[in-house]
Structure 1
Amino acid sequence: METSTEPNVLDNVSFHVNAGEFISIIGPSGSGKSTLFKLITGLEQPTSGEILLNGQHDHNRLGRVGYMPQQDLLMPWRTILKNAALPLELKGVAKNNAHQRVLELLEEFGLKGVEHKYPRDLSGGMKQRVSFLRAVLSGSNILLLDEPFSALDAITRMNMQAWLLEKWEKWKTTILFITHDVEEALFLSDSVFVLSETPVQHLEKINVPLGRPRDFHMIHQPEIIKLKEQLIEQLRWRVTP
């Protein structure tokens, strides 16, 4: 997948993601992470170059990838069932069929029994599960997750990280994950892309030296602690006071 856009944000950037990889993207605020996602989803178009999804170029990329934003964006007037079914309805799936598809997945997503509740009735972690289910129901094998756990408390965040890995290891979807948390990036990912220049002309790729499956104790290995410190220091010097 290659992309290039406005010189003041991304300038002739080229990178490739293998099918089934879990890639985290880190960088200072304003470094182009969200712009990159807007380009991939089709919300914005590059001024030059091209973006390939599953090896194919498509100018109209809207709806071709699953997207989970930082905030859940659930509609407060719709039940959890109807919120989750929204991407299927937008694709023209009959309402009854869309609802049945959601019902089949509720237990797997830890949402069984809350389908008739409203977003206000759910915890932050539960809302993010609904948001993730909605992204999965887009039908794409590519998921873009934009700081989905940043608003959660520490314990809920750890539980959601472990839950996300469990789902990813089962489905082997391709995940691009934006985060400001270096430790989160190292725990979740196969590799980390570092945006450390403005405009971005190169994505530095750091391979994470951890096997799978993973648990939280692995993040305390000496080589991971050293890598974390190096990445934090690298990003710290790129932040304007």
Structure 2
Amino acid sequence: MSKPALQFEKISFTYPPSKGSDEKVIFDNLDFQVNTGEFVCIIGPSGSGKTTLFKLVTGLMQPTIGSILLNGENEEKRLGKVGYMPQQDLLMPWRTIMDNAALPLEIKGIPKKEAQTQVRQLLDEFGLTGVENKYPSDLSGGMRQRVSFLRTVLSGSNVLLLDEPFSSLDAITRLNMQEWLLNQWEKYKSTVLFITHDVDEALFLADRVFVFTEAPIQQFYELKVPLERPRQLKDIHKTKVIELKEYLIDQLRSRVLP
């Protein structure tokens, strides 16, 4: 049985009152865990707490009450211990692809030459051979996201948070990147939490789907995806997945709309 890579134990989080608004409770006594090597997609309306969850996991914010465990350890200082890939690639335009990818290694104090050697060993695996001396402006959106994911992997964490990383891509590139991401995940066996607004994307990628509703959240509505691995894009057209998609959309509508 897989050990938990991430655990929320009776977590509550409240945004303090600001000018013109009262305090806002986002999570209320929330318990959940994500197992090592599991791929979990999070889906829900804007403002329901998805980004707040990621900020808590990364350590950018701390829970009001409760504990967050990484790999079984109660980690209050989580900054730098979790890999994070944002919606925008955030590559530095003045740095080459090589130097952008090596950034998390440099932050850890690894000498530049050694950091570049580690990056160079992974270029082919990430489809970046031959572009390492180019700049972000020279690459397509899909290629830039490959660099961003490589940088996330090089953080060294076994827990990766991906915040709508493909939302800005065109439809075909997005599908290609979804397949590519699954291939990489199967190689590295990382634990992934992936925010998306796309039901098809969630069902194709995930082992489980967490459905966020309006805050405050006390527990997630959870769905297990009935697909074996490895997967192909055509698998989401299977009858059981189509039925699950329709059910998930109904749940989202009923829990979000009055």
TM-score (norm 2): 0.91
Contact 1:4 1:14 in 2 (8 A): no
How many pairs does the alignment contain? 241
Report the secondary structure of 1:144's partner residue. strand
Q: Which runs of 5+ in 2 are unaligned?
A: 1-6, 15-23
Supply the distance in 1 between the matched residues of 2:175 and 2:164 (Cα, whole angstroms): 14
Contact 1:22 1:191 in 2 (8 A): yes
Contact 1:23 1:193 in 2 (8 A): yes
1:5 is matched with which residue? 13
| Residues 1:94 and 2:111 aligned together | yes
Contact 2:40 2:206 in 1 (8 A): yes
**Cα deviation per residue 1:186-238 (whole Å; 9 max; x = unaligned)?**
00011111112421111122110000110011101111111111111221234
Matches within 5 A, 1:1-241: 1-2=7-8, 3-6=11-14, 8-239=25-256
Contact 2:26 2:217 in 1 (8 A): yes
Supply the distance in 1 between the matched residues of 2:221 and 2:72 (Cα, whole angstroms): 22
Q: Which runs of 5+ in 1 are unaligned?
A: none
Supply the distance in 1 between the matched residues of 2:133 and 2:28 (Cα, whole angstroms): 47
TM-score (norm 1): 0.97
Greater RCO (CA < 8 Å, at least 6 residues apart): 1
RMSD of aligned C-alpha atoms?
A: 1.1
Contact 1:41 1:64 in 2 (8 A): yes
- Partner AA of 2:251 in structure 1: Q
**Cα deviation per residue 1:95-150 (whole Å; 9 max; x = unaligned)?**
11011111111110000010110000000000000000000000001100000000
Supply the distance in 2 between the matched residues of 1:12 and 1:188 (Cα, whole angstroms): 28
Supply the distance in 2 between the matched residues of 1:182 and 1:12 (Cα, whole angstroms): 27
Contact 2:12 2:28 in 1 (8 A): yes
Report the secondary structure of 1:11's partner residue. strand
